[in-house]
Chain A
Amino acid sequence: MSRKRALIADTFCLTKRRRCAADSVTDGAADIRSSLQYLMTMFSRKLFNDSLPPVVLKHQLYSLHNDKTSVDKQVNELRENGELLMFQLGFDSEAFALVFAEDYRTKVLQGEAGRETLGTVEKFLAKLIPGCSDLSFNKEKMLKEFLFTDPEITQLVKSGVLTVRDAGSWWLSIPNSGKFIKYFIKGRKAVLGVVKKSKYGEILKTELEGRRTTSQVKFQMKYHIHDIMGAELVECIQTTSGTLLRYVDGNVN
């Protein structure tokens, strides 16, 4: 008689995990960078006339990788290296936007070309990109550490790289991102509505991807699907026909 010891985890969850559709779960050496690049291909550049860098939300990564803690760790590593920038978008305290630093720099400078704020913005980007991984800045930091003057700070707000947080502090922001946030929230609501209106409040992921999008949904369906899966606005259930998305009651968004 073999004396194999069962792990406690095994005895508590005795149904065998079903093999799920390959594209949604990757284990082992989770490569966040390639996942980010994959998600960024779903970003609709043309919609914003190419004025925005590709933006991805941090929780979209959770829909691709099982271990949220290691995703968080790797994202922080990339931020420390200066490869990735993170932004607090404002509509949800838990929703963070990620942009590759180089894309951000290119687009911002492209937008600033010919304006008088160009010089200040270049100075700000130089301070930001290799060294700083903060999401917001207060007056003291701007004046003492970064050595900006008050009029220069006003110029930065005007150019869109800073938005007001409260008296004397500013969030780091993506210029022209207002439209992005508006379309994003509308699109998310519309996609969630599709799931809710489906029979039994649930729909197969592959079927949702194939549905025609209404005029409310400006982004690619897949982009929104990764968003609602990662933010746990829908329950993801693995079935033999693939991933099933079930509407979760009590959603605010």
Chain B
Amino acid sequence: KEQTRDNDLNHNRDVDRIHGNGINTLDIEVIDGRYMLSGGSDGVIVIYDLENNSKKPQYTCKAICTVGRSSRHVHKFSVETVQWYPHDTGMFVSSSFDKTLKVWDTETLKPAEEFQFDGNVYCHHMCPIARKHSLVAVGTKDPKVQLCDLKSGSRIHILQGHRGEILSVRWSPRYEHILATASTDSRVRVWDVRRASGSLFTLDQHNGDKSKASSEAVNTAHNGRVNGLCFTADGLHLLTTGTDDRMRLWNSATGENTLVNYGKVVNESRKGLKFTVSRGCSPEFVFVPCGSSVAMYGLHSGQLITMLRGHYNNVDCCEFHPDYQELYSGGKDCNVLAWVPVLRQPDIEDDETNSKRGGAQAAINPAFEDAWSSDED
């Protein structure tokens, strides 16, 4: 039987190395899945083209344009979150520790809008399915979650309830008015932004069993700061990570802790943790940056499937590309690595020729094989 190559890291796919300092955030646009944004600790933002136009399997994703240190509008401190505008790639939004949120025009690479805040901006998120609103949820040092309206430029809408810094905000991919927020006060709140009153509910790791926790830990999602949020693709479940080294899977409609046990998910992040869930696989997987590797867990089984090793320093973010089932990860070593599932060579049923052909066979992905030009070229 043919052996599969035993590298998880795809050596056929590279990404241009532009950042001079760590990469904090990655985002792949959802419309074509072609362009990727990255934001770094140096304040630089880069746009890459992920499409493979060469007919060779070896390919480097080129950086198309950069908002570099020489740009007048570049962020002064590290960029913590970048996100493409969900409906077209003409616009993207970035937020930074320079206390601003900038809405950029992709064509000119100049900010069309800028929002100023009082404290470091840890995260922001635009709803991927929103049709009735164009709100950006922003999490900052301030316990109040701010909602900025891209259409009107206003920012009067505030969500009150948390008692600590907001480390992560995430809109539901299922209901455009549902927002989840995670805070250093150990709580995760789920809001319906149409309601004037407070949050819909708070996630309770003990599912209401007040006897299990110590009295201060009642009604908390984690026994530490909650710094990561991720909805599953269907929006039915929500994953949270905390500095108690735990990851929890919740039913997003009821707020119930499903009690899937992932074991120790090492989490030392002082800011938000950017992790991601696969889309379109069955069963689904969670990819969590863990030190200098990316840990891969089965979503519902809780089992650690493997650790993806390849980075030279801490991994800070990862993003899943649904169309190609690929994972991109970025970290302090300034590299963006692509983890592409290596296609298994087709099993050859003919056993006698197998041992002779196995070694000599060139490993070409059949998708890239040139099936039409003639041999006389």
Name A residues whose Cβ lies closer than 8 Å to a Cβ of B.
1-4, 6, 8-15, 62, 66-69, 71-73, 88, 93-94, 134-138, 165-166, 169, 231-232, 250
Judge whether B7 and A165 touch: CB under 8 Å: no
Closest to B302 in A: A69
Interface string of B225-256 (1 = CB under 8 A from A): 00000000000000000001010000000000
Judge whether A93 and B305 touch: CB under 8 Å: no
Judge whether B215 and A169 touch: CB under 8 Å: yes
The size bracket of the interface on B is: 35 or more
Judge whether A93 and B343 touch: CB under 8 Å: no
Counting CB contacts under 8 A, is B112 at the interface?
no
A-B contact count (CB 8 A): 99
Determine which of B209, B263, B325, B341 lies in contact with A68 in the assembled complex, contact meaning CB atoms within 8 Å: B263
Judge whether B305 and A12 touch: CB under 8 Å: yes
- Contacts A67-B302, A93-B213 aside, 12 further interface pairs with beta carbons under 8 A come to A4-B344, A6-B4, A8-B325, A11-B4, A13-B306, A72-B261, A93-B217, A94-B246, A135-B211, A135-B212, A165-B214, A250-B268
Note all chain B residues with C-beta closer than 8 A to A135. 211-212
Judge whether A68 and B261 touch: CB under 8 Å: yes
Given contacts A1-B346, A2-B347, A14-B342, contact A68 B6 (CB under 8 A): no
Judge whether B298 and A9 touch: CB under 8 Å: yes
Which 5 residue pairs across A and B have the least CB separation, nearest first? A13-B306, A68-B261, A11-B341, A232-B264, A134-B211
Closest to A6 in B: B344
**Shortest distance from the beta carbon of A9 to any chain B beta carbon, whole Å:** 6
Closest to A167 in B: B215
Judge whether B4 and A14 touch: CB under 8 Å: yes
Closest to A170 in B: B211
Determine which of B212, B264, B343, B349 lies in contact with A6 in the assembled complex, contact meaning CB atoms within 8 Å: B343
Q: Is the interface of B mostly helix, strand, loop or mixed?
A: loop
Q: How far is the CA of A15 from the CA of B209 in the complex (A)?
A: 42
Closest to A86 in B: B212
Given contacts A68-B302, A72-B259, contact A11 B213 (CB under 8 A): no
Determine which of B211, B261, B283, B306 lies in contact with A69 in the assembled complex, contact meaning CB atoms within 8 Å: B261
Judge whether B339 and A165 touch: CB under 8 Å: no
Q: How far is the CA of A71 from the CA of B260 in the complex (A)?
A: 10
**Shortest distance from the beta carbon of B245 to any chain A beta carbon, whole Å:** 8
**Shortest distance from the beta carbon of B118 to any chain A beta carbon, whole Å:** 33
Counting CB contacts under 8 A, is B104 at the interface?
no
Q: How far is the CA of A66 from the CA of B210 in the complex (A)?
A: 29
